[in-house]
Amino acid sequence: MSTTQRIPIQAWSGDVLNERGQREVFCGLTGIIWLHRKMQDAFFLIIGSRTCAHLMQSAAGVMIFAEPRFGTAIIGERDLAGLADAHEELDRVASEVLACRPNIRTLFLVGSCPSEVIKLDLERAAQRLNQRWHPQVKVLNYSGSGIETTFTQGEDACLQALVPHLPLSAKAPAQLLVVGTVADVVEDQFSQLFKSMGLNNVAFFPPRRSAELPAIGPGTRFVLAQPFLSDTARALQAMGMECISAPFPLGVQGTTGWLKAIAQSFGIDEQRVESVIAAPKARALKALEAHRAALANKRIFFFPDSQLEIPLACFVHHELGMTLTEVGTPYLNRHLMAHDLARLPANTTLSEGQDVDKQLQRCQQAEPDLVVCGLGLANPLEAQGVATKWSIELVFSPIHGYEQAGDLAALFHRPLKRRQLIGQRKGELAWN
Ligand code: SF4
Q: Which atom of ligand 1 is nearest to the CA of 28?
A: 4
pLDDT at 56: 84
Burial class (CB in 10 A: 0-12, 13-18, 19+), 93: middle
pLDDT at 279: 98
Regions of the chain with pLDDT less than 70: 1-13, 60-67, 76-84, 424-432
Strand partners, 163: none
pLDDT at 218: 86
Look at ligand 1, atom 1, and give the residue with the nearest C-alpha.
52
pLDDT at 206: 98
Measured between alpha carbons, how far is residue 121 from residues 125, 126, 292 in Å? 6, 9, 52
Mutate to test the pocket of ligand 1, among 29, 57, 151 (most ligand atoms within 8 A of CB): 29
The Å distance, Cα 76 to ligand 1 centre, comes to: 14
pLDDT at 12: 63
Helices (H) and strands (E) in the chain, counts: 16, 15
CB 140, CB 108: distance < 8 Å? yes
Residue 73's closest CA among 26, 34, 129?
A: 129
**DSSP characters for 136-159?**
T-EEEEEE--TTT--TTHHHHHHH
The Å distance, Cα 390 to ligand 1 centre, comes to: 19
Q: What end-to-end distance do the CA atoms of the chain give, in Å?
A: 52
* Ligand 1 environment, Cβ below 6 A: 27, 29, 48-49, 51-52, 55, 112-114, 144-146
Query: Phi, psi (5° rounding) for residue 107?
Result: -115, 120
The Å distance, Cα 110 to ligand 1 centre, comes to: 11
CB 45, CB 70: distance < 8 Å? yes
pLDDT at 81: 56
Which segments of 248-335 does DSSP mark as H helices, in order? Answer: 251-265, 270-295, 309-318
State the Cα–Cα distance between residues 300 and 369, nearest whole angstrom.
6
Tell me what percent of the chain is helix, strand and coil, each rounded to the nearest 5: 50, 20, 35
Cβ neighbors of 385 (< 8 A, separation 6 or more) are none
Strand partners, 164: none
The Å distance, Cα 124 to ligand 1 centre, comes to: 22
State the Cα–Cα distance between residues 254 and 107, nearest whole angstrom.
35
Residues 337-367 as b/e (b if ≥16 CB within 10 A, e otherwise) read bbbbbebbeeebbbbbbbbbebbbebbeebe
